[in-house]
Amino acid sequence: MKKSELQAMSLVELTGIYNKHAAKPIKKFSGSKEAAIAKVIGVLPKASSGAGSRPRVGSGEFIREKLRAGGYGKYAVIVELVKKTFPTSRATEKDVAWHANKLREQGEMLKSA
């Protein structure tokens, strides 16, 4: 929902939208309309980046995906892929080994090289 759409609404309508999305409903907004709009924006679900888009994946999940897929041989290869995908990552082979052990502990079968 756009801010311009919210600005066209009354405080009663804003209260309805807030209560639809908030964990704790309110009876009504008191104060300025701008403050009410800010609170409504704060509880609205964040828009996705597009249809069929994939959720953001961090370097840890990226490592686990590569371990599950297999075929990378040494952990150093996965570390290089992490560095290309996440340039600020400080992942090392020890991190890859840690994730591999966690997956094994959870009973996941890792594919070998």
Tell me the pLDDT tens digit for each residue of 66-93.
Answer: 998 888 889 999 999 999 999 999 999 9
SS3 helix, strand, coil % of the chain, rounded to 5? Answer: 55, 0, 45
DSSP state of 52: T
Tokens of residue 60, six digits = 């840890």
List the domain range (segments joined by +) for residue 24: 3-43
Query: Tens of pLDDT along 13-54?
Result: 999 988 988 888 899 988 899 999 889 888 888 755 555 555
Residue 63 lies in a domain: yes
pTM of the full structure? 0.50
Q: Measured between alpha carbons, how far is residue 30 from residues 10, 15, 27, 35 in Å?
A: 12, 10, 10, 9
Q: Compute how many other C-beta atoms are within 10 angstroms of the C-beta atom of residue 33.
A: 14
Per residue, what are the HEC states of 16-35?
HHHHHHCCCCCCCCCCCHHH
Same domain? 37 vs 64: no
Q: Does 48 fall in a domain?
A: no
| Residues 23, 26, 30: CA angle, nearest 5 degrees | 135
Asked if residue 96 is part of any domain, the answer here is yes
110 is a domain residue: no
**For tokens 């069929």, what's the residue?**
52
